[in-house]
Structure 1
Amino acid sequence: MHLIRENIASLYEQIASLLREEIQQGRFEPTGKLPSEAALCLRFGVSRVTVRLALARLEQEGTVARKQGKGTYAAGKQLRHGLDQLRSFHESLLQQGLQAGMRLLSREIVDAPGGALSVMGDEDGRCLRLLRLHLLDGAPLAVGRSYLPLLMDAADRERMERTPSYAILQELTGQAVARADLAIKVGQADAELAPALEVVEGAPLLVMERSSYFADGACCDRSQFYIRPERYEFVIKTSFAQAGG
């Protein structure tokens, strides 16, 4: 599309119209994230003021939502975590075609919460506590606080930053995670979470609590995921059973 360069009002209206059309066509799927202001300036050959006017128009009409420090997104576009599928938090992001990453914040040996994990093999009831930051397009999305069998300490830092816990557990034990119990609630960012998530202490968070088990019933993972709620939602598919005649 060639812009008609009559005046600044004409330019930003044309850019807004084109971006609106591209959003409706699904061009920015799967995340709904639009290019950065700098990229749009380069694409259209206009100033940042003009681009900001175009985005402000789209935001005013409800076509986009602008998140400070995260970018501009097609309105209503949410990251989704299906509760009806057994999948790790990291895998749920990758399955949506997203640029997801993990960063290890801390690892330490601690007392297992609520008693020893069934497969950790430590007589003193200890386990490995991991704190990992989940990133989306390089920006913080969630912190995972996981209590895992002590044998997980054999995995090096690089592996813990690129591989979900479920995959490491299967590699080390030869067993796949068979089921998980999940609970969703609302929480707040504490002094440990707030800096990692780049929010103020006390900011509201979504919290997913997960206990995972092998086929023999042994508990192999207890985790809490503290999630920035702006664009994240949990979904589950259900259907009505057909009544018998």
Structure 2
Amino acid sequence: MSILRDSTTSLYQQIAQQLLDEIRRGDFEPSGKLPSEAELGQRFKVSRVTVRLAIGKLSDDGVVERKQGKGTFAAAKQVRHGLDALRSFHEALLLQGLNASMRVTGSQVVAVPETLRVLFGSSLQCLCVERLHFVDGEAIAMGRSYLPLELETVVWKDVEQQPIYSVLESVTGCAVSRADMAIRAQQADKTLATALNVPRGAALLVMERTSWFADGRCCDRTTFYIRPERYSFVLSGVFKQGH
């Protein structure tokens, strides 16, 4: 489809719309990279200024991302996590049809952190497991879980793609019955910046999840450090006819 030079719609808006249609069709997959400004100028027979305006509009609309030194890319699909259902972080990704995977980056027995002693009762030790969560091979979150010592014998490489909740149930025979979640923001330190490929000091979403068995035992305290441009939390509510 060519642009119309006698149209009432400006050239850059026409180019932006055409590129948007192509992005939606997946024409630039798998990398998502768009042609350079020079290539687009040659293709549409317009100046680089006009191309820059078109790309600027797509960027302002959140359709593309400009990566310095790398070019312009179709913006990654944002992941949505519903807060009104009990499901694991990984399951929330899979339910959206995403190409989600996990990688265990560490597991060790540690002393129960002082701030968690009230949760783990008389236990002096717990298991700390760290995992990276990926979508389409790109790290979007790191999770650090403190778990009952019963899971010490788990070979985490063997269950790398299983949600924590599934592992808990298979080892203990008990299902997770509820979870409390808190959400805040935090700057990425050196470790998180490296793991998530973001600048040090970048803002991250932090979800802190505390999960419980039906008998009241705490079975999981996990903190997820999440790239905010890839993730959003949603909560559905129903308004009741009130007084």
Residue in structure 1 matched with residue 82 of structure 2 by the alignment: 82
Which residue of 2 is the match for residue 72 of structure 1?
74
For 2:83 and 2:232, locate their aligned partners in 1 and report how far apart those are by CA, in whole Å.
10
Q: For residues 151 and 215 of structure 1, what CA distance do their matches in structure 2 show?
A: 17
The answer to whether the 8 Å contact 2:15/2:54 transfers is no
In the alignment, residue 131 of structure 2 is paired with which amino acid? R
What is the TM-score of this pair, normalised by structure 2? 0.76
* Residue matched to 1:215: 214
- Aligned residue pairs: how many? 220
Contact 2:33/2:73 (8 A) holds in 1: no
Q: What is the distance in 2 between the residues matched to 1:199 and 1:38?
A: 19
Matched with 1:9 is none
After TM superposition, the score normalised by the length of structure 1 is 0.75
Indicate whether 1:115 and 2:104 are aligned.
no
Distance 1:149 1:37 in 2: 41
Structure 1 gaps, min length 5: 5-11, 42-46
State the SS of the aligned residue for 1:97: coil
Name the aligned partner's letter for residue 229 of structure 1.
P
Give the CA deviation at 1:143.
0.6
Paired position in structure 2 for 1:60: 57
* Residue number in structure 1 paired with 2:157: 158
Structure 2 residue runs of 5 or longer lacking an equivalent are 4-11, 42-47
Residues 8-27 of structure 1 show CA distances to partners (whole Å, capped at 9, x for unaligned) of xxxx999855442355xx64
Q: 1:240 to 1:13 in 2, by over 3 A?
A: closer
Alpha-carbon distance in structure 2 between the residues aligned to 1:115 and 1:213: 15
| 3-state SS, counterpart of residue 142 of structure 1 | strand
Equivalents in 1 of 2:80, 2:179: separation in Å?
18
**Residues 59, 220 of structure 1: alpha-carbon distance in 2 compared, 3 angstrom cutoff:** same
Relative to structure 2, which stretch is displaced further, 228-237 or 51-60? 51-60
Residues 1:228 and 1:37: Cα distance change in structure 2 (over 3 Å): closer
Counterpart AA for 1:195 = T
Tell me how large the CA RMSD over aligned residues is: 3.3
